[in-house]
Amino acid sequence: MSYVDAGYAVGLSVLFLYAIGLVIRRRSLERAVDLSLPPSDSAERTAETGGASGP
Amino acid sequence: MNVGTEAPSLPSRPRWLRVVGVAAVLSTAATVWLGLWVTPPDKVQGNLVRLVYLHPPIAWVALYLAFGLAALSSLLYLWRRTRSLFWDRLAAASVEVGVVFNALTLATGMLWGRPTWGVWWTWDARLTSTALLLVLFLGYLALRRVPAEPEVRARRCAVAALIAFVDVPIVHFSVIWWQTLHQGATVLNANLSPTIHGSMAWTLLLGFIALTLVFVWMVTVRYRIEVLADRTDAEHLEVSLAERWAEGDLDGVPSNGANGGNGANGGNGAGGVLRPPTRVGP
C-alpha cells in the first residue's frame, strides 16, 4: 500500500467511523428520551421527528 | 436560559440535514475519484500530490471552521446580551468534531511527510503548533467533563476555548514567521494567488466543499446529542429526586448542592427541605 492509499484509507475510515458513532449515540439518547416521556408526548415526538431513523 | 432541573427543549430534527448528509457523501466520493484516478501526477511530487486533495481540506475544517466556530460561540456565550446555553452546546459540538479533524490533519500530514522529508515527525513550527492545538482542545473536552453547574461549566469552557484558539493564527502564520520544513499555503498565501491550477485546483476546491459539508452534518448531529444528553441528565435527576422524595429520604436535608445531583443541576432552592420536582418543559 502506498502512502497515498494509506492517507485516504486513514482519513476516510476515521470520518466514517466517527459519523457512525455519532448516529449510534444520537439514537440511543433519543430512545432514552422517548422512554422517559409519557406515552402521548412520546408519540408526538416520534411523529415530529420521524422516529429514530435517518442521519 | 436553562437552569436548575429544567430539561432543555428538544429541537426537531432539521429536514435539510439528510440533504447535507447525502451531498457530503457524494462530494467526498467525487473528490476521492478525481484525486486518485483523474488528476495527473505532479511534476515534482509525483503521485504524492494526491494527498493534497485530502490534507488541506481536513486542516481547513479543523482550524478555521471547527475551532473558529467554537471560539465564536464561546465569545457569544460570554457576551451578556447573547448568553445562552445554545452557544455553549454548539461550541462543545464543534470542538469535538474539530479534535477528530485535527488528529486527522496530523495523521495525513505524517503520511505525506515520511516519503517527502524522510521522517514521520519533526519539531517544525507548523507541526508543533498543530499538535499543541490538538492538546489544547483535548484539554477543553476534559474540562467539560469536570462536574459543575451548567453555567459555571459553560463559562470556564468558553474561556478555555478562547485561550486555545490563540494558537490558530500561530499555526496559520507559522510557515511565514519561522523557517519551516512545511510548505507555504497553496491557496491562502500572502498574495492570494493560488499555486495550483486546472483539474488539480478544481479537485482541491471540491475537497474543501465536501469536507465542509461533512463538518456541517457532524456538528448538527453532535449538537443534537449534546441537547439530548443534557435532557436525559436533567430527567434522570428529576426521577431520582422524585423517588427519594417518595421514600421520604429528603425531608430535612439541606439544599446545599450536595443532595445527590450529578453536579449539573444543583439544589432546587427549596431552602432546607427538598420539594418534589415540578416538571418543566415539553
What does the pLDDT look like over B22-33, one tens digit per residue?
999 999 999 999
Which segments of chain A have a pLDDT < 50?
50-55
**What pLDDT, on a 0 to 100 scale, did the predictor assign at position B15?**
85
- Structural domain count of chain B: 1
C-beta separation of B99 from B134 below 8 A: yes
Domain contains B264:
no
List pLDDT tens digits, range B57-105.
999 999 999 999 999 999 999 999 999 999 999 999 999 999 999 999 9
Yes or no: say if B112 and B55 are a contact pair by the CB < 8 Å rule.
Answer: yes
Chain B positions in Cβ-Cβ contact with residue A53 (cut-off 8 Å): none
ipTM of model over 0.90: no
Confidence of residue B279 (pLDDT cuts 50, 70, 90): very low
Whether residue B263 is contained in a domain is answered as no
pLDDT of residue B7: 58
Task: With CB atoms and an 8 Å threshold, state whether A3 touches B229.
Answer: no
User: pLDDT grade, residue B206 (50/70/90)?
Assistant: very high
Higher-scoring residue by pLDDT: B236, A20: A20
C-alpha cell at B255: 439544599
pLDDT tens per residue across span B47-60: 889 999 999 999 99
B115 at interface of A, judged by CB pairs closer than 8 A: yes
CATH classification of the domain holding B81: 1.20.120
Q: Is residue B243 part of a domain?
A: no
Q: What is the pLDDT of residue B42?
A: 85
Place of cell 479533524: B101
Neighbours of B150 (CB within 10 A): 23
CB contact under 8 A, A18 and B55: no
Write down the pLDDT at residue B110.
95
Q: Which of B9-18, B140-149, B187-196 has the highest mean pLDDT?
A: B140-149
> What's the rounded mean pLDDT across residues B211-227?
96
Chain B closest-CA separation from residue A28 CA (Å): 10
pTM of the model: 0.80
Residue B184 pLDDT level (bands cut at 50, 70, 90) = confident
CB–CB contact A55 B217 (8 Å) = yes
Residue type at position B28:
T
d(CA A45, CA A53): 13
Residue at A1: amino acid letter: M
Ramachandran class of B179: left when φ > 0, alpha when ψ lies in -120 to 50, beta otherwise? beta
- Would B76 be classed as within a structural domain? yes
Do the chains contact at A54 and B18, CB–CB below 8 Å?
A: yes
Cβ(B209)–Cβ(B217) below 8 Å = no
The pLDDT assigned to B278 comes to: 45
Residue B124: give the domain boundaries. Answer: 21-234
User: Residues 6 or more apart from B262 whose CB is under 8 A from it?
Assistant: B147, B233, B236, B237
Average pLDDT in chain B: 83
The CA R_g of chain B, rounded to the nearest whole Å, is 23
B130-134, B140-144, B220-224, B247-251, range with the lowest pLDDT: B247-251
Q: Is pLDDT larger for residue A37 or for residue B37? A: B37
- Distance from B47 to chain A by nearest Cα, in Å? 7
Is the CB of B108 inside 8 Å of chain A's CB atoms?
yes
More confident residue, B260 or A22: A22
User: Looking at residue B257, what is its pLDDT?
Assistant: 43
Residue B72 placed within a domain: yes
pLDDT band at B275 (very low <50, low <70, confident <90, very high): very low
> Would you say residue B280 lies in a domain?
no
Answer yes or no: is B193 within a domain: yes
Contact B129, B176 (CB under 8 A): no
pLDDT greater than 90 at residue B231: no
What pLDDT is stored for residue B244 in this prediction?
Answer: 80
Chain A contact for B282 (CB, 8 A cutoff): yes
CB atoms within 10 A of CB B27: 19
Nearest CB among A4, A48, A49 relative to B51 is that of: A4
| DSSP code for B273 | S
Residues contacting residue B99 through CB under 8 Å, at least 6 positions apart: B134, B137, B138, B141
Mean pLDDT over B36-40 rounds to: 91
| Per-residue pLDDT at A26 | 94
- Touching check for A43 and chain B: CB below 8 Å? no
Distance (Å) from the C-alpha of residue B69 to the closest C-alpha of chain A?
19
Test B32 with A8 for CB contact under 8 angstroms.
yes
Of the two residues B144 and B239, the one the predictor is more confident about is B144
Reported residue count of chain A is: 55
Among B224, B227, B280, most A C-beta atoms within 10 A, so best to mutate, is: B224
Q: What is the pLDDT of residue B190?
A: 63
Share of chain B above pLDDT 90, in %: 59
